Chains A and B, each alone.
Chain A
């Protein structure tokens, strides 16, 4: 049997890779990809906890499904924003789109 902590350590490592990607990448599409990595790390945690702690309840799977749906909506809206910005300003570099920054 695989220990629960292995899944948790893997989820933490994956989340941190995603955090690095979000903070360090310049391309907005790459930032969105890193966000997907982070959402997946959370999903691993949810399903692992469901499997090891409350296998008879289905709350963990329900949460994982909600995360799936949120990820899909987030990808659709985020990529639409990126394409709209690209069409107007010919750039997808996150630091060049700073008109809402003080």
Chain B
């Protein structure tokens, strides 16, 4: 077992433990903090996968923006469920069964694929200029420019929409 494998196993165990805390903790602020731990572990995995740019984006966008947004929402809606009453609905055992069955199905499919020869691994190193290639492809009309424009439109519409939804109508009267 190499050092990288030990790092991976440690990070994976931390991610899974934090993720289980996210879905089981009663206190929602704690759940949000566990979510940040999970996302940070994910950034480490991106570094292990030689996608340093995605690791940076993960920290900036997920931890810097989305988690803070979630914590804001938790604080704004705090009074109602203040850590009292059940945090899960009546179907939690059924939910557990469904999640376990889904996981079993995915892992079974994975082993079936391995038995039939596995994935066609490239066994090639990641090019050193892959980030530059990504940038060029994102503005190339023959490659992913449409995806970039679609992302921009989606984010603009999402921003305008969330402002319109969350605005307090009573101010006008």
B35 and A1 contacting across the interface, CB-CB below 8 Å: no
Within the complex, which residue of B5, B42, B57, B89 is in contact with A65, where a contact is CB–CB below 8 Å? B57
Which B residues are in CB contact (< 8 Å) with A47? 45-46, 49, 51, 54
Nearest A-chain residue to B157, judged by Cβ: A73
Q: Considering the complex, which residues of chain B in the window 39-77 have a beta carbon less than 8 Å from any beta carbon of chain A?
A: 39, 42, 45-46, 48-51, 53-54, 57-58, 61-62, 65-66, 69-70, 72-74, 76-77
Which A residues are in CB contact (< 8 Å) with B39? 36, 40
* Distance in angstroms between the alpha carbons of A54 and B49 in the assembled complex: 13
Main secondary structure of the interface of A (DSSP, over half): helix
B130 and A55 contacting across the interface, CB-CB below 8 Å: yes
Which A residues are in CB contact (< 8 Å) with B50? 51
* Distance in angstroms between the alpha carbons of A19 and B102 in the assembled complex: 9
Given contacts A23-B99, A53-B120, A64-B54, are A77 and B165 in contact (CB under 8 A)?
Answer: yes
Interface size class of B (residues with CB under 8 A): 35 or more
B107 and A9 contacting across the interface, CB-CB below 8 Å: yes
A86 and B77 contacting across the interface, CB-CB below 8 Å: yes
Given contacts A30-B28, A65-B57, are A14 and B62 in contact (CB under 8 A)?
Answer: no
Which A residues are in CB contact (< 8 Å) with B103? 12-13, 15-16
B69 and A76 contacting across the interface, CB-CB below 8 Å: yes
Centre residue among A1, A33, A77, A79 by max chain B CB count within 10 A = A33
Within the complex, which residue of B16, B22, B147, B159 is in contact with A21, where a contact is CB–CB below 8 Å? B22
Nearest B-chain residue to A32, judged by Cβ: B70
Which A residues are in CB contact (< 8 Å) with B80? 86, 90-93
**Contact flags (1/0) for B142-164 with A, using CB distance below 8 Å?**
00100100010011011101110
B20 and A10 contacting across the interface, CB-CB below 8 Å: no
Given contacts A51-B49, A84-B165, are A24 and B134 in contact (CB under 8 A)?
Answer: no
Listed A/B pairs (30) with beta-carbon separation below 8 Å: A1-B2, A1-B4, A13-B16, A15-B103, A16-B99, A17-B22, A17-B23, A20-B99, A23-B91, A24-B88, A24-B89, A24-B96, A27-B87, A30-B87, A34-B22, A34-B23, A36-B39, A37-B23, A40-B39, A47-B45, A55-B127, A62-B147, A65-B54, A65-B57, A69-B151, A74-B158, A76-B159, A86-B76, A87-B168, A95-B89
